[in-house]
Amino acid sequence: MKTKSLIACGLALAGFALCPAVRADEVTDWNANMLTAFRTANVSPLVASRSAALVSAAVYDALNGIERRYEPIHVAANAPPEASRRAAAVQAAYAMLVKLFPAQRPNLDFQLTASLAGIVSEEAVENSQSMLRGIDWGQAVADAIWAWRSTDGFTTAPPSFPGGVADGQWRPTPPAFLPAAGLQFAYMTPWAMNSRSQFRPDGPPALASDQYAADFDETRLMGSASSLLRTADQTLACQFWGVGGTATYLWNHLAVSLATERHHTLSENARLLALLNIAIADAAIACWEAKYTYTFWRPITTIPLTEPGWTTLLVTPNHPEYPSGHSTLSGAAAAVLADHFGDDTSLTFDSDVLLGVTRSFSSFSAALDEIKEARIFAGIHFRTACEDGQTTGANVANYILENSFRRLHGE
């Protein structure tokens, strides 16, 4: 068995680990491995939301199946006695990542061996029998969650969506004029919500309304590629949130940073990251369900009708405008992390694309305000789409916080 040969390698390597390096724990290590795998495979922001939920759910259910403290996501607690918690978490993450990215298996094998060596060298109590039980359990959990979500609708190719030509209807946008993307997310099975439409927002403002006129003018003035009203720092913020990594990377990296500062345990990290990524994944489903319900046009479609030559700071994504995807996913992520750490927490985000660029805030609310404006000032959204998106994401997250991951036995 391949895994057991890797265990043997890990046991052998442990003999050379005379002075283990300072690091995080297996849950956060493999969260970092996950984000690296996403970058290597060039996973889209939308697909990353589902993939991160798969990995985090497997790790959480594997660890929780041994500790039996909280409600499971999908796999009932049935781990063998004295199974290694750390080995179970490692194997669950590894197994799910191999399923998602089979071409990356050689690198994932190397990371698995290093993780197992770290467990053996640091804790004598993690004997080989305990590790084997943990690995078998972690693999079983990953297999069960993979089988469960294999029928969620992600791999079902929906018909192409070309859009419409009536006023207010989405249609392909320049420069590539691609068909609408991510349509299957509008029909996917939720992770924790009751239904895809459970938190559907009210929809974009009517074209003849004062709200639409105000939204239109703001994006026209602030979101133009040549806007003289947008400051240099606002332009940098647009680039940071628009091209500087996915919402999944930004919020996962922040969560791990905050958890490390506060010395979270292995179990606390597993639960927090599962909450975060399942909230993001369900927010993506809720958002795309709304996008393809309302199919609202983008600023790049409508503003040039009255101002020929107008163009956006950033390239417009190829899907309907309302609600904003980044705003919805960030609204969910911020709600989970604010609930855990408190809204008035000092935050610093870094980027996996714009290396060395950071954005710092005094609270989660302040970060959401900048994210909202960054979509408007980039020219790709109207304000209502961003505000309603953040509200939708927060509603999704609050529902999950209230109804999932609850402590067992009333403890």
CATH of residue 220: 1.10.606.20
Three-point CA angle 367, 396, 327, nearest 5°: 35
What would the two tokens of residue 32 be? 């970092």
Residues 241 and 139 in one domain: no
Per-residue pLDDT at 273: 98
Residues 249 and 343 in one domain: yes
DSSP state of 185: G
Residue 383 resides in a domain: yes
Residues 71 and 200 in one domain: no
What would the two tokens of residue 5 be? 């040969």
* pLDDT lower than 70: segments of the chain: 1-24, 121-126, 410-411
Q: Please tell me whether residue 361 adopts helix, strand or coil conformation.
A: strand
- Please name the residue ranges forming H helices in 224-363: 232-243, 247-261, 266-294, 299-306, 325-341
CATH of residue 130: 1.20.144
Per-residue pLDDT at 244: 72
What would the two tokens of residue 151 be? 């029928």
Residue 154 resides in a domain: no
Q: How far apart are CA 112 and CA 359, in angstroms?
A: 33
Residue 69 resides in a domain: yes
Per-residue pLDDT at 120: 80
Residue 382 resides in a domain: yes
Residue 174 resides in a domain: no
Q: What is the pTM of this model?
A: 0.94
Residues 192 and 133 in one domain: no
> Which domain covers residue 362, as residue numbers?
183-410
Q: Please tell me whether residue 304 adopts helix, strand or coil conformation.
A: helix
SS (H, E, C) 98-137: HHHCHHHHHHHHHHHHHHHHHHHHHCCCCCHHHHHHHHHH
Residues 225 and 303 in one domain: yes
Total number of domains constituting the chain: 2
Per-residue pLDDT at 16: 36
Per-residue pLDDT at 127: 80
Q: Please tell me whether residue 359 adopts helix, strand or coil conformation.
A: strand
Q: How far apart are CA 37 and CA 101, in angstroms?
A: 8
Residues 139 and 194 in one domain: no
Per-residue pLDDT at 18: 36
Q: Please tell me whether residue 358 adopts helix, strand or coil conformation.
A: strand
